[in-house]
Amino acid sequence: EVLKEKVEEEEEAERAERAERAERAEKMMRPMEVRKEDTTRTQEMLRDLERKLSEIEVSIPEKSSTFTKDAIDTSKLPLSYQSNTPKEEHLLQVADNFSRQYSHLCPDRVPLFLYPVNECNVPKFVSTTIRPTLMPYPELYNWDTCAQFVSDFLSAVPLPDPLKPVVKEEEKAPPKKYAVKPPRDLTSRFEREQEIKRQEGVKAEEEKRLKQGERLAEQESAKTDPLHGLRVHSWVLVLSGKREVPESFFIDPFTARSYSTQDDHFLGIESLWNHKNYWVNMQDCWNCCKDLVFDLGDPVRWEYLLLETDKPLLSLTEEEDDGTNDDDDAENLGKEDEDKSFDMPCSWVEQIEISPEAFETRCPNGKKVIQYKRARLEKWAPYLNNNGLVCRLTTYEDLECTKILEIKEWFQNREDMLELKHINKVTGLNIDYFKPGHPQALRAHSYTSMQPEMDRVMEFYEKVRVDGLIKREETPRTMTEYYQGRPDLLSYRHVNFGPRTKKLALNSAESNPRPVVKITERFFRNPAKPADEDVAERVFLILDERIQLRYHCREDHLTASKREFLWRTEGDSKGNKIIMTPDMCLSFEVEPMEHTKKLLYQYEAMMKLKNEEKLARHQAWESELEVLEILKLREEEEAAHALTISIYDTKRNEKSKEYREAMERMMHEEHLWQAEAQLDYLAPFLAQLPPGEKLTRWQAMRLKDECLSDFKQRLIDKANLIQARFEKETQELQKQQQWYQENQVTLTPEDEDLYLSYCSQAMFRIRVMEQRLNRHKELAPLKYLALEEKLYKDPRLVELLKVFV
């Protein structure tokens, strides 16, 4: 009956399809002439379509796995990874019972995260996956550097299901051999094609509008997350109390950032665990985590899995303590506690071992890329890039990350002390930041081009420079410098340049300097001078041959004194002096003084200012030379980008490596020397006998006596040598003491210090030699007896010397 119904359904579907084709043919009927042309064109299009379709290769993409279990060879893992101990099995039963009770009492809450499977698909309790380990790296002793180290190793991978931390893939049932085929699709194929064309047109229009920026604001607008409050996440909670932690806080493991427990990003907590216990939050999280009390010893707020908790339970009230307890109740209570008590099993994971190379590499393979919205962060291990690049942050204008706005690059271990390079792709402005130690004391360098006489700003470490320069701003026609801490109290110098008469060259400031048109200098207040005599600003108008002065204003005045000198090139009849006239000095004085009106005073002031003008022009020329020198140095540094290597880095430091190899050679040579020194002590005496001759008893006795006699003489010679050195040092000290007694009156304090230092060192040497001599006298007999015993036990003499023992 089933087969019969199936055949009828197929026949009915075929009839419906034939009727649909006939109806479609009637609707699309056209004149015969047109149909012939269409038929020819259609055949060509079909052949072209078949040719294009044959060139297309379809490859079915493999399903991307969230967890890289296949990359782990489970056969090489320890036995603790592949199975559970009886205590772990007992813990899993306790956890399963706890989970069922929790689900019964709290049916509206999500299941607890208690015992996920590990790499070997073995269920493990979460607390046993934690193994506290003390590492030999000081950077891991603080939470911030430790969190940064962990975040560099982690890579954020989205969960298959954002609502569950562990999802088991359901196995698909194999298809049945005789399953009933589903009914045919009776929808119109023509209508489907038209619908697809219409959707493609709509999609193309939407993409066009998106490229034009019409829907950019709509995409940027905040959208309501349909899974808000349901997504799962795991992070670290640091409780207050120990290690001087004033208050509890959160640490996000992926960003290494710390958050307050009052932060709005954390909407609630389901459970907590460490290597000792597991706690379930029984508090209401309607106000996120702001009202949560992190007292893990409170069983009302935190339901624990095991009885052994980190914190004691809350104390009972007096009314509860006043209850009568007989001996039977106490005994039963103790038995009940014994039955329920259970210690957390030891961790099944191996102890963490991080080699120095892995600790320095940080990120897997030394590189990590994090993609953000309109930003891309790249990290590298130190010394992985030959230019010292360790981090790069690129920000984009669009969501597709195709138009770059700016780039920030961080460097380490650079010889030129380059720390950060900021590149603005929109304005073309580059800013280089340097750490202290640059040869030119550079702090920052802002520029659009490395060519000279362009817009740039240089900042310096003023405490390192002798001239106290803080900042230098340069344009094609001006140069402005800011100073601090100079003895002449100069704070500002602005130089205006005129058009260059010759073509610009690389060393233009030396061979073809720019003509200086105007120099403006400003000074800090000098409290040692009156305000009317303390220059606040002076302007050298070189082309106009004028010098303008403005003095500091008094505290009780609103205006300041001013003076202007008019420079004239006319001289006297000999042409070597300037003719001073009253109209060459124009002044405005708040409180006029008699001596300032004299021509001699004005002449001396003008001549001094003329010398100051020459000095200012020379300093402007030196500043141009320094700019060229810095630019040339920066080009060489960028081309070389040499890195500094610590002397303790024996892996990369060639000098340290050569020194270590030299020390190893010396130790090897010393070892060989010691080995040679420990050669046969009878060899010199055996060499006196004819080769191959067998020893007699009397010869063996003579060898023994000669060896002992020689050793005794060497002990005596050594004692005499120590005694001679002791007597020599003693005589030298006595001579120095006699010289001091004779010249004590005429000695200077430096001579007395030298004498006392010599006496101290001499007495130290004398005491050392005295101790060596006494020790040698004590050990010499023992060494003599030890050699004698060694000779009697020598295998070449032992049989011959038995009769003399």
| pLDDT tens, position by position, 723-753 | 999 999 999 999 989 888 888 888 888 888 8
**What does DSSP say about strands 249-251 and 302-304: parallel, antiparallel, or unpaired?**
unpaired
> Using 50, 70 and 90 to split pLDDT, how confident is the model at 322?
very low
Q: What does the pLDDT read at residue 47?
A: 61
Using CA atoms, how far apart are residues 801 and 697, in angstroms rounded to an integer?
7
Q: What does the pLDDT read at residue 622?
A: 93
User: Angle CA(480)–CA(481)–CA(486) in degrees, nearest 5?
Assistant: 155
Residue with the larger pLDDT of the pair 753 and 375:
375
Using CA atoms, how far apart are residues 369 and 439, in angstroms rounded to an integer?
34
Q: Compute CA 599 distance to the chain's CA centroid, rounded to the nearest angstrom.
A: 68
| pTM for this entry | 0.63
* Residue 571 confidence (pLDDT) above 60: no
Using CA atoms, how far apart are residues 436 and 155, in angstroms rounded to an integer?
35
* Torsion angles phi and psi, residue 403, rounded to 5: -105, 115
Residue type, position 246, single letter: P
Q: Which of 799, 803, 802, 797 is nearest to 708 (CA)?
A: 797
Using CA atoms, how far apart are residues 761 and 768, in angstroms rounded to an integer?
11
CB 78 within 8 A of CB 350: yes
3-state DSSP helix/strand/coil percent for the chain, to nearest 5?
40, 15, 45
Using CA atoms, how far apart are residues 532 and 775, in angstroms rounded to an integer?
85
| 337 burial type by CB count under 10 A (0-12 exposed, 13-18 middle, 19+ buried) | exposed
Residue with the larger pLDDT of the pair 669 and 282:
282
Q: Which run of H or of E encompasses 633?
A: helix 599-640
* Residue 686 confidence (pLDDT) above 80: no
Q: What does the chain come to in residues? A: 805
Average per-residue pLDDT in the chain? 82
Give me the helix-helix angle, 697-742 and 749-792, nearest 10°: 170
Mean pLDDT on 53-57: 47
Using CA atoms, how far apart are residues 686 and 488, in angstroms rounded to an integer?
89
Q: What does the pLDDT read at residue 467?
A: 92
Mean pLDDT on 122-150: 92
**What does DSSP say about strands 562-566 and 430-434: parallel, antiparallel, or unpaired?**
unpaired
Q: Which of 451, 547, 464, 425 is nearest to 504 (CA)?
A: 451
CB 126 within 8 A of CB 114: yes
Q: Which of 406, 403, 356 is nearest to 383 (CA)?
A: 356
DSSP state of 720: H
Mean pLDDT on 200-218: 71
- Catalogue the long-range contacts made by 381-390 (C-beta closer than 8 Å, 24 or more residues apart): 382/412, 382/413, 383/413, 383/643, 383/652, 386/641, 386/643, 387/411, 387/414, 387/641, 388/412, 388/413, 388/414, 388/418, 388/641, 388/643
> Euclidean distance between the first and final Cα of the chain, in Å?
121
Residues contacting residue 716 through CB under 8 Å, at least 6 positions apart: none
Q: What does the pLDDT read at residue 321?
A: 44
Q: Compute CA 731 distance to the chain's CA centroid, rounded to the nearest angstrom.
A: 63
> Tens of pLDDT along 588-634?
888 877 777 788 888 888 889 999 999 999 999 999 999 999 999 99
Number of Cβ within 10 Å of residue 81's Cβ equals 17
595-631 burial: b if 16+ Cβ within 10 Å, else e:
ebeeeeebbebbeebeebbeebbebbbebbebbbebb
CB 587 within 8 A of CB 573: no
Beta bridge partners of 259: 250
Least confident segment among 297-306, 329-338, 367-376: 329-338
How many angstroms separate the Cα of 384 from the Cα of each of 152, 412, 416, 751? 15, 11, 18, 58
Can you tell me whether residue 154 is helix, strand or coil?
Answer: coil
> Tens of pLDDT along 503-521?
555 445 555 678 999 999 9
Q: Which run of H or of E encompasses 542?
A: none
Can you tell me whether residue 662 is helix, strand or coil?
Answer: helix
* Residue 330 confidence (pLDDT) above 50: no
How many angstroms separate the Cα of 16 from the Cα of each of 8, 185, 449, 601? 12, 11, 76, 121
CB 408 within 8 A of CB 378: no
* Torsion angles phi and psi, residue 682, rounded to 5: -95, -5
Of the chain, the percentage scoring pLDDT greater than 90 comes to 39
CB 251 within 8 A of CB 235: yes
Residues contacting residue 230 through CB under 8 Å, at least 6 positions apart: 162, 163
Residue type, position 622, single letter: E
Mean pLDDT on 83-109: 93
**What does DSSP say about strands 278-281 and 456-460: parallel, antiparallel, or unpaired?**
unpaired
Of the chain, the percentage scoring pLDDT greater than 70 comes to 80
Residue with the larger pLDDT of the pair 180 and 157:
157
CB 132 within 8 A of CB 122: no
Using CA atoms, how far apart are residues 136 and 38, in angstroms rounded to an integer?
82
* Residue 35 confidence (pLDDT) above 50: no
Beta bridge partners of 469: 483
**What does DSSP say about strands 430-434 and 249-251: parallel, antiparallel, or unpaired?**
unpaired
Q: What does the pLDDT read at residue 604?
A: 87
Half-sphere exposure of 655 (CA within 13 A, CB side): 5
Beta bridge partners of 249: 238, 260
Number of Cβ within 10 Å of residue 94's Cβ equals 16
**Token output for 154:** 């982690």
Least confident segment among 156-160, 178-182, 366-370: 178-182
* Residue 67 confidence (pLDDT) above 50: no
